């Protein structure tokens, strides 16, 4: 996911290039063209609507990020001369007080211009007392961290409100995705192979899109429960209750007795899974029942009372944080695989990829509540990721500016403990510019790399 950061000056007479704004400048317009083109080609307007909803939510998040910097800077008396949504040519602007507010042509982020972000910037002598770099360190940290703080607030608010208003996602009674013409002797076999049998499901009258309510009178709550229930009747007739349209039907089927790997691993005397010579978990082969259907996962939502909603929100938040930690610690090695067939569906994804996932969520066959909940949690996760990413101690991210500021303060305290009584010694930012530009180039290349992968080798949720 590309980072979203305010555009701020870092050297006299110019601005440091910001990977967030530039990454979005590359990613969003291309993403819009790609997805709208797909929508037109497939006639799937709902898909386009879902993607455009993601873009709108992203732009609102960026605008609120900038508002965090702007409002805290104003609160501490700093001077902010511009607050713009978008980049490029100005479409509309209005001067109110000392700040120009406006909208630019390319809806790919936004920026706030705070006077004197560094001591290298040329500042009007009349504005120098209000320059950012002259303010107390605590105030500057608050202003710099305000953008990420806003993202965290958005994430927490979305998770909590979705839990209270919609509830949590739960697996519903499984459906029948497809009915096979046969049951094969081997798990990876094909009809016509030696030992394949006519499909018991087909003979019993199962149809695609049936919803399985019970097996042998026992309700089934998910796809795994359905598989386990049918496996327990090898060669024995069993009654399966299904819902077809608005009717409930009892279908009697005799699962074929076949050899299949167990769903549970082989355990040793200590209750630990047994591993083979290659370090893979061993699943013993057993005689089970099979009827020749492909179970279909179905998801719905379950309402929660206020106390349950708060607890579920905490659980959801922990899962999101764990996912972010995994991204930075375990998923880095998957970057080289994004163009290959083994692309990790839980790995890195760019703006185009996230937009496509959003479109697929809205265009899916799930219930409206499930779609809305999934969309909200996608936006919440995005904001949490961006908030954390923006605090990485790398210039030109906000976290990089905070790291420089804290280093200055720590060094100053050590020097004063040793008897130093002079002015605070500032970090020479000109020496950091090569590193800053290297980070910008890396982020830009990373954005383009993911952009291409999301177009030619997209992650799909179905």
Instruction: Write down the H helix ranges in 166-290.
Output: 200-204, 223-231
Please say whether the beta carbons of 238 and 253 come within 8 A.
yes
Adjacent-strand bridge partners of 110: 85
Query: Does residue 12 sit in helix, strand or coil?
Result: coil
Contact 104, 85 (CB under 8 A): yes
- Closest by CA to 214, choosing from 163, 174, 156, is 174
115 CB contacts (<8 Å, ≥6 apart)?
78, 79, 80, 81, 121, 123, 127, 130, 131, 132
Q: Which position has the token pair 């709550």? A: 221
- How many CB atoms sit inside 10 A of residue 12's CB? 13
Of 371, 372, 406, 374, the closest CA to residue 391 belongs to 406
What is the dihedral sign for C-alpha 410, 415, 417, 420? negative
Count the alpha carbons within 13 Å of 317 in the hemisphere toward its beta carbon: 18
Closest CA to 455 of 34, 49, 44: 34
Choice among 66, 121, 360, 366 that is catalytic: 66
* 368, 385 Cβ separation under 8 angstroms: no
- In angstroms, the CA 191 to CA 436 distance is 60
Take residue 124 and report the two structure tokens written for it: 């009007």
Q: Which residue from 153, 140, 138, 144 is spatially nearest to 69, judged by alpha carbons?
A: 144
| Structure-token match 């949490």, residue found | 384
- Active-site residue flag, 272: no
Q: Check: CB of residue 334 under 8 Å from CB of residue 452.
A: no
Burial of 70 (0-12, 13-18, 19+ CB in 10 A): buried
Rg of the chain's alpha carbons, rounded to an integer? Answer: 28
Q: What are phi and psi of 76, to 5 degrees?
A: -95, 10
Q: Which amino acids are annotated catalytic?
A: 66
């Amino acid at each position: 996911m590309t980072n979203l950061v305010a555009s701020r000056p870092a050297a006299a007479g110019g601005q440091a290039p910001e990977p967030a704004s530039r990454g979005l400048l590359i990613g969003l317009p291309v993403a819009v063209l790609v997805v709208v083109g797909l929508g037109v080609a497939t006639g799937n307007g709902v898909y386009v609507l879902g993607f455009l909803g993601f873009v709108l939510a992203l732009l609102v998040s960026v605008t609120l990020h900038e508002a965090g910097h702007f409002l805290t800077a104003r609160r501490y008396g700093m001077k902010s001369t511009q607050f713009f949504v978008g980049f490029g040519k100005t479409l509309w602007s209005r001067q109110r007080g000392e700040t120009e507010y406006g909208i630019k042509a390319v809806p790919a982020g936004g920026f706030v211009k705070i006077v004197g972000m560094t001591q290298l910037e040329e500042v009007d002598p009349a504005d120098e007392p209000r320059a950012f770099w002259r303010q107390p360190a605590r105030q500057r940290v608050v202003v710099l961290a305000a953008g990420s703080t806003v993202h965290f607030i958005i994430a927490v608010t979305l998770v909590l409100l979705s839990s209270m208003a919609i509830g949590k996602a739960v697996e519903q009674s499984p459906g029948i995705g497809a009915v096979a013409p046969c049951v094969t002797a081997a798990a990876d076999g094909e009809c016509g192979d030696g030992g394949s049998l006519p499909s018991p499901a087909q003979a019993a009258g199962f149809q695609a899109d049936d919803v399985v309510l019970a097996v042998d009178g026992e309700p089934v709550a998910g796809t795994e429960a359905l598989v386990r229930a049918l496996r327990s009747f090898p060669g024995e007739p069993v009654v399966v209750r299904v819902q077809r349209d608005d009717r409930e039907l009892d279908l009697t089927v005799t699962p074929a007795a076949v050899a299949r790997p167990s769903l549970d691993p082989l355990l040793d005397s200590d209750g630990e899974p047994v591993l083979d010579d290659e370090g893979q978990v061993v699943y013993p082969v057993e005689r089970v029942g099979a009827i020749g259907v492909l179970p279909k996962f179905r998801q719905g939502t379950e309402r929660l009372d206020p106390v349950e909603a708060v607890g579920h929100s905490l659980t959801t938040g922990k899962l999101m944080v764990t996912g972010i930690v995994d991204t930075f610690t375990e998923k880095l090695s998957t970057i080289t695989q994004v163009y290959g067939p083994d692309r990790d569906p839980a790995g890195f994804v760019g703006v185009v990829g996230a937009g496509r996932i959003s479109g697929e969520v809205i265009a899916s066959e799930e219930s409206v509540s499930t779609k809305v909940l999934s969309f909200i949690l996608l936006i919440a996760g995005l904001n949490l990721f961006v908030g954390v990413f923006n605090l990485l101690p790398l210039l030109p991210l906000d976290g990089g500016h905070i790291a420089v500021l804290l280093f200055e303060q720590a060094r100053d305290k050590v020097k004063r403990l040793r008897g130093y009584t002079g002015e605070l010694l500032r970090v020479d930012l000109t020496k950091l510019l090569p590193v800053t530009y290297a980070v910008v180039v890396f982020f830009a290349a990373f954005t383009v790399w993911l952009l291409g992968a999301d177009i030619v080798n997209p992650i799909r949720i179905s």
